[in-house]
Amino acid sequence: MKELTKPLRLVLTEILLRRLLIGFFKRPDVEKDLAKRWAGYWGEITLDKYLKELPANQYYIFHDLQLKVYGVHFQIDTLLISTKYILIIEAKNISGTITFDNTFQQLIRLEDNEAFEDPRIQAKRNQALLKSFFRSLGFKDLPIDYLVFFSNVKTKLKACPEIESDLTRVCKAREIFEKIETCEAIYQEEKISLTEINKMTDILLRNHQPKKINILGQYKIAPTDIVTGVCCTKCSTIPMTYIKGTWFCPTCQFSSKDAHLEAINDYFHLLKPSITNNELKVFLHLPSNDIAQKILKKLKLESTGKTKSRIYHQPIERSLSPCAFS
């Protein structure tokens, strides 16, 4: 019902890294976070592949569902809805030997002693919030359960030997099918009709609210630290040079008619969701305001104001593509 797509936080981190100088002091932090976010996304991709094996007429599947209840924003990696129960799945992709520390509600990786939040706590919190969400909309109480899924088959999961640990809701790779079968054995009674599920689906999709992310603010990076110009899609050189309607890369000699589209997307994502004629000229390193105006007119962006004070706004779909420019 909601397909898996690349998370916005991952997209923003990629854009930010592309526009930081090699020697910038915050770059190693961004690189480290990007690697973690890619690992997390691959975990969700693996989970999605497994879930595609479930009977299509039995489960409604939602990926990266972001909801709000009583002012609290929460995000669910994967949500399964059936006529008998609802299942929250928290996906993790952590390599190495992982110990569940119940005392401090964390995971500890043996190889480097790195600590992670216990995903069982996160999933349980989402369970409570989702129950509140449905109650606030008048739905009768439905059984809501949760699982924590580790995608890496080589990950070794351990519990602290001194403390009893409940790992019944934790699974790895294809073991998820056994866990889902266990849920099906527990929740055998029909609770809602397909008509009610369709109504619930519409409500979930309408209430999906991606959280706004200020990626520069999170890293305390100033807009002036962002490298401006059009990025070469072949060798990543910034900036490309604009000559008579075409962008040329001074490093690899690659040429393109629409390389500026990615740069405008970068501007909208990193700096602000609106742009003026002069701001476009400066950011793309264009030779004149007339060329900037010509580009903006071809993009057919929504605008406010008139003549020199006109402001062009980021499209709702958040991303410009070459077909939008033709």
User: pLDDT tens digits, residue range 179-233?
Assistant: 999 999 999 999 989 999 999 999 999 999 988 899 999 999 999 999 999 999 9
Residue 131's pLDDT is 95
The mean pLDDT value for 80-89 works out to 96
**Cα separations (Å) of 287 from 227, 263, 280?**
18, 16, 11
Q: What is the pLDDT of residues 264-315, one digit of tens each?
A: 999 999 999 999 999 999 999 999 999 999 999 999 999 999 877 899 999 8
Give me the chain's average pLDDT, please. Answer: 92
For residue 170, is pLDDT > 60? Answer: yes
Contact 39, 96 (CB under 8 A): no
Q: Measured in whole angstroms, how far is the alpha carbon of residue 197 from the centre of its chain? A: 25
Specify the pLDDT at position 171.
Answer: 94
State how far the Cα of 165 lies from the Cα of 148, in Å rounded to an integer: 14
Domains of the chain and CATH, by start: 8-207 (no CATH), 228-325 (1.10.10)
Mean pLDDT for 115-138 is 94
Residue 165 has a pLDDT of: 67
Q: Is the pLDDT of residue 140 over 80?
A: no
Residues of the chain above pLDDT 90, percent: 84
